[in-house]
Amino acid sequence: MRELFGYHSRNGRGVMFLRPVFSATVALSSLIGGFAVAAEPAVLVSSDLKASISQAILAGDCEKAKAVAVAAGQFDLAEQALRLCTPRSGPTSRPTAIATTPPAVEQPQVIRANWKQKPTAEQAWAFYPKAGLERGVGGKVVMTCVVLETGRTSNCTVISEDPPGLGFGEAATKIALVSDFTPTLVNGTPIPDTIRFPVNFNPPPKNIIQNLLGVLSGQENASSSRDKLGQSARNQ
């Protein structure tokens, strides 16, 4: 009762008065014998209040979000704002975007064409140019060919020939056209492909050179004889 009423002396009589700090509802309830505090009406959270708190959360201003909620008497909302809010760490008020890495594009598996079996020195001797045999020199040719799905070659072109002018380029082309290659595979499927490769010529031993020159001379003589017979037949 001392909290509700005051007492002072006036003209020799004690006078009791009601302290004004309490609402009339509380005082009236106390006077009738029961100390009951009137229930506060429920406070509706306005959309503007929610928007203000949300903006503060997005800006990373956690203290502002809490202060706005507390000022409106929404203490539960203030606690929720603190749980959701992440304090800003720099001058930028907006959260930084998270960089995303695009999914990797699967690359096709490619196996380029190559010799199925490189010609041996002995096999290359069968195509050795006569000028190279006569000089006893070797040669190197770099060329390109289209390797078909079957592994056979076509459209061969000589890129370089060393030494030039001795017929090594023509000999390398003949070797490539009769050789077998493994075709280019893309995910296991053969496709035509143009490849670049070298063909090397190493001169055979001298005894082999003599034999090869004899064979070449015989072929030339036989070819010459066939040409003469053909010419004679045409003249008749």
What is the CATH classification number for the domain harbouring 133? 3.30.2420.10
Are both 148 and 225 inside the same structural domain? no
- Judge whether 105 lies within some domain: no
Tell me phi and psi for residue 110, to 5 degrees: -120, 130
Are both 119 and 133 inside the same structural domain? yes
| Domain count of the fold of the chain | 4
- Judge whether 133 lies within some domain: yes
Q: In terms of residue numbers, what domain contains 70?
A: 47-84
- Judge whether 24 lies within some domain: yes
pLDDT reported for residue 159: 96
Are both 136 and 199 inside the same structural domain? yes
Are both 67 and 1 inside the same structural domain? no
Report the alpha-carbon distance of residue 168 to residue 156 in Å, rounded.
14
- pLDDT tens column, 168-192: 999 999 999 999 999 999 999 999 9
| 230 pLDDT tier (thresholds 50, 70, 90) | very low
pLDDT above 90 as % of the chain: 35
- Judge whether 70 lies within some domain: yes
Are both 186 and 230 inside the same structural domain? no
Are both 196 and 215 inside the same structural domain? no
- Judge whether 99 lies within some domain: no
Are both 51 and 79 inside the same structural domain? yes
pTM of the model: 0.50
- List, in sequence order, every residue forming a beta bridge with 3; answer none if it has no partner: none
- Residue 53 contacts by C-beta under 8 Å, 6 or more apart in sequence? 65, 68, 69, 77, 81
Report the alpha-carbon distance of residue 180 to residue 89 in Å, rounded.
68
Are both 117 and 191 inside the same structural domain? yes
Report the alpha-carbon distance of residue 69 to residue 126 in Å, rounded.
97
* Mean pLDDT calculated for residue range 216-236: 53
Are both 199 and 216 inside the same structural domain? no
Identify whether the C-beta of residue 175 lies closer than 8 Å to the C-beta of residue 120: no
| 17 pLDDT tier (thresholds 50, 70, 90) | very low
Identify whether the C-beta of residue 95 lies closer than 8 Å to the C-beta of residue 57: no
Are both 162 and 195 inside the same structural domain? yes
Are both 214 and 141 inside the same structural domain? no
Burial class (CB in 10 A: 0-12, 13-18, 19+), 203: middle
Are both 138 and 159 inside the same structural domain? yes
